[in-house]
Structure 1
């Protein structure tokens, strides 16, 4: 089985649509890879940036090479505004294919910095998310070795 590491750093968002006029938005983001590992990672809440939050949050994933090369594997970044007394409010999301990210990064030595527009449903919304990412080298993992290491952990 061949795998790659994928590292994404959510840098910031800018010019997000303000949800309320009275209070400053406290924005956080969740990162997930749909079609691959369903693990969701969450940034800390930016309490001071308002509609221009900054995080510099890094998330790492180990991905099967087949998932990286498949157009159906999507990177999804969802933005939420934290609210104290009610449920957090959805601001919008960014989604793109990992295959497209991989192709862009291949021309830049395995890493790149992108700014993508925030969307709500199928319509473009106000604002953009800036992030950097890097794909690691392809590593081959022997299935038997992987099974032995998992079995060893279960005996502890």
Structure 2
């Protein structure tokens, strides 16, 4: 069974973010919030790869490419959040989340569920912003109105 381009690139986003996160853990850099924010590079790269492939195949339709970009980026984000929740549970549950949240914008004592939910909303927003930014970039290069 062959996965679609969107799911394949979404899985690559997930793998890239996962490896990046594990490297940051190994180097004790996971407490630096600005290092954690660099994972958006993976979303940009692989969503752009999906759109680039679509345009090479002649798919210039904005709705088709919007769907394709969103599927790619949201697949990576959702899989990453699920794996973070599982990883957090393995590493000590809410105690581990508290250590992560010390350098993040959380108040009180977050749980795995609240931390994952807030990151999910943040991830969805960033996936939508990345997708539509790239769509505007590609629309300028390959206008569908011509």
Pairwise same-fold verdict (TM > 0.5): no
**Structure with more strand by fraction:** 1
Higher helix share: 2
